Amino acid sequence: MSVPPAEAPPTTDTHARRARRKDARPGELLSAALDLFVEKGYAATRVEEVARLAGVSKGTLFLYFPSKEELFKAVVREHISGHFASWSEEIEHFEGSSQDMLRDCLHSWWVHIGATKASGIPKLMMSEARNFPELGAFYQQEVIQPGSALIARILQRGITRGEFRPMDLKYGVHMVLAPLLFLAMWTHSLDACCGPQARIEPDRYLAAQLDMLLYGFGAGHPRPAPANLSNSEQPTA
């Protein structure tokens, strides 16, 4: 009877491939989780589905992320708030005008978030934050507050340099955020309701919004009297 040859011991290359595979697993899990959270929502996504899509067991997923909540938080940090430190650095050392800085801000948002699946996360939070208040509090602290602070720095810079008119910064920030949130909602919800003629081209949409923002913020334009829409002076439908 012939004796089967002994298996060769693992080589250095085999160990290296396994190490690389292990190092890549968190990123693969976060990518799979992003796909499912955006497609199905937070409540409907199960960790078993994330593990299956990433090609690992449920137990392996829990080695990296102890719960679905922690997995979601990691997705937000990886795909949204992880950009804030570099954006803050860019603002700190930007040498152009504040108009150009705001233009770069919207462009960076579109490239890194708006044009990616991560743009579905704001829509998810709008839909589910009230059902998961702990995630809403996390998103407020991790994304909304620091993101708003970055925009406020741009607007304040413009005011200080005489490039933007004085404004209520709180609502100036909301004016910048509103078209970005609308575009995220449109991309992941409203677009499905519309035919080709009604669809939005993101580049043209953002360019039009930026044009209106810069005209409204500009220090060289006469400032109209504020409209009073309180109480009985509110417009009727």
Report pLDDT digits (tens) over 28-66: 999 999 999 999 999 999 999 999 999 999 999 999 999
pLDDT computed for residue 15 by the predictor: 42
How many CB atoms are located within 10 Å of the residue 1 CB? 3
* Coil, helix or strand at residue 218: strand
Burial class (CB in 10 A: 0-12, 13-18, 19+), 19: exposed
Domain ranges within the chain, ordered by starting residue:
15-68, 80-220
How many CB atoms are located within 10 Å of the residue 206 CB? 20
pLDDT in tens, 176-215: 999 999 988 888 887 777 777 788 888 899 999 999 999 9
If one looks up domain 15-68 in CATH, what number appears?
A: 1.10.10.60
Spatial CB neighbours of 153, under 8 Å, sequence gap ≥ 6: 91
Mean pLDDT of the chain: 86
Choice among 74-88, 116-130, 178-192 with the minimum mean pLDDT: 178-192
Instruction: Choose among 181, 172, 184, 180: nearest CA to 213.
Output: 172
Res 227 pLDDT > 70: no
Q: Say which CATH class 80-220 falls into.
A: mainly alpha
* Gyration radius of the chain over CA positions: 24
Q: CA triplet 83, 163, 114: central angle to 5 degrees? A: 30
How many CB atoms are located within 10 Å of the residue 22 CB? 11
Rounded distance between C-alpha atoms, residue 120 and residue 128, angstroms? 12
Burial class (CB in 10 A: 0-12, 13-18, 19+), 198: exposed
Res 3 pLDDT > 80: no
8 A C-beta contact, residue 102 and residue 154: yes
Rounded distance between C-alpha atoms, residue 71 and residue 69, angstroms? 5
pLDDT in tens, 88-106: 999 999 999 999 999 999 9
CA dist list (Å): 49 to 45, 129, 135, 140: 7, 22, 20, 27
Q: What is the pTM of this model?
A: 0.81
- Return the half-sphere exposure (C-beta side, CA atoms, 13 A cut-off) of residue 142: 21
pLDDT computed for residue 20 by the predictor: 43
